[in-house]
Every structure is written in C-alpha cells, then in structure tokens.
Copies of this chain bind each other. A is one copy, B any other.
C-alpha cells in the first residue's frame, strides 16, 4: 500500500545568487513525490491547471508515482515567486497566486484511501483534516508539515488535525510560533501535548533534529560546495524521510534515524540545482555514494 501525499504541484519563479528561473515545476507534492518514489510507491493528491502539460507530466512518468488523484482544472496552476539573498536559509516571497488551488478540495480515489502512510503537505489544515477523514484505515504513519500562515491564521483547525498526527515536521521558527517556546526540548514537550509523538525540526543548512519518546537524534546537513537553490529542500527531506519509513518494516528509533539521513541526503541533491532538476537526474549510485559520505561525516568509531 502506498505513501499518500497531499500538497501543491506548482510553477515557481525563482531568483537566487546563482541565477534565476521562470515557470519551473515546483510545489511540495512535486518535490516530495520525486524523492519518496525512489523508496516506496507514492500516490499524489493535488490540483493543477491546464498549464500543466506533457512537459510536466513527463517528470513524473517512469517513477512509482500514481497521479490518478491529481485533479486537472481549467485555469492556471498555483504559482509562487520568491528570491533568496546570500543567506540561503530563508526565501522572500514576492508573489503567491493560488489560481486553481484556491478552491481545491481533495477527493481521494478509492485506491488511495487505504494508503499505509500519509504525508499532509503544507496546505490549509482544514483540507489536511479532510484527507485524514477520507482514509478507510488508520495509516501506519501520519506526518504533517505546516507554516506560520496557518499557525497564526488557522490555529484551531491546525490543532484539530494535529491530534491525528504522529510526526510533526516543521522548521525551527514554525516550531517556536506553534508552541510559544524557544528551547527544542520544551517545544517537544508542548508538541506531544498537541498530539504528535514525534517531532522533526528542520534547520536548513544546520540540519535536522529528531525528537522521539525513545531518544533524540541530531543530524547535520550534508556539506556541499555549492547551494544553487534551496527551494524544495524541506519537501524533499520529507519525501526521503517518509519514503524510508513507508518502506521500512520497523518503526523504532534506529529506523527513524536512518529516515532522517535519507531525507537529508535527498535534500542535498535538490539544493544543488534549480527546482526539481537535482532529483530528476539523481542516480542510485549518486544517492548511495552520498549516503555513505554522510555516514562518514557523523561517524565515531566504537569506544
């Protein structure tokens, strides 16, 4: 049974210190599914406009990505325009056009409703809850991403859906505004009271913190010579992380740690090129080579 993702499939205009791109494929569900599908079959729920054509379709072809839940509507797809300064850790949003996304209502195909794992990408928490309610069986893992726009503007709805969630995946600023705490251990205590037993805090170039009832894990980001475009790094991380969990028989701390490393390494390929190019051209050799290199970067020999 598949790994279900609900999120956005979008077009992005990006400017970074390395250059600019217009109208390139983006959106949380795109990055997520390209990463996760290397590890486990993915089912996508999203909406696109009629600007989503064969060129975009083709990016998902030949991969374990089921697009039967991708709604195609007249009009334009979600469009985001953003830029990054020398500090690549944070994007400045210049324009957001919801377009067909404005009245998106996820309606899961029957084959999606028994997915084994569910990733609720960063969309309106009311829609995230809508997806949870359509599941006929409780997925093994439900993970959720969100952002300050929903934390501040749709808090009640967000708190409702969080009660259904196992893993909250957010960046440090989001974790802080959700809980009102600054310290990660205190943040984690508050998050557990809200529902999720697991917390993954994304810190951009400083890596990821995994907090679990069985223990915690601190993983740095992979050391790269060049970061071209950070867009999609968090969604790629989520894809690698959830793809690993969906494909793993176990759910213990060691499995979660390895999922974090997989997400970290996948994200390192995304940021080396604009948009989804790094994920599209990623080979198994490159992926496993970098997983080994990542292990070396954090490895201590036994005492």
Contacts and interface: CB of A to CB of B under 8 A. Distances in A.
A217 interface: yes
Contact of A215 (B217, B296, B301): B296
Given A220-B218, A220-B220, A185 B225 contact: yes
Contacts of A226: 183
Contacts of A94: none
A223 B184 contact: yes
A274 B120 CA distance: 43
A82 to B, nearest CB: 20
B300 A257 contact: yes
B203 A206 contact: yes
A216 interface: yes
Contacts of A219: 220, 298
Given A209-B223, A225-B183, A298 B296 contact: no
A195 interface: no
A235 to B, nearest CB: 22
A207 interface: yes
A298 B223 contact: no
Main secondary structure of the interface of A (DSSP, over half): mixed
A300 B295 contact: yes
A133 interface: no
Contacts of A216: 223, 297
Contacts of A296: 215
Interface string A174-193: 00000000111110000000
Given A185-B223, A186-B225, A225-B183, A218 B300 contact: no
Interface in A271-303: 295-301, 303
A192 to B, nearest CB: 15
Interface in A71-99: 86
Contact of A300 (B186, B215, B223, B261): B261
26 contacts: A86-B182, A183-B224, A183-B227, A184-B223, A185-B223, A185-B225, A206-B207, A207-B218, A207-B220, A209-B223, A215-B296, A216-B223, A217-B297, A217-B298, A218-B223, A218-B297, A218-B298, A219-B220, A219-B298, A254-B301, A257-B300, A258-B300, A261-B300, A295-B300, A298-B298, A298-B300
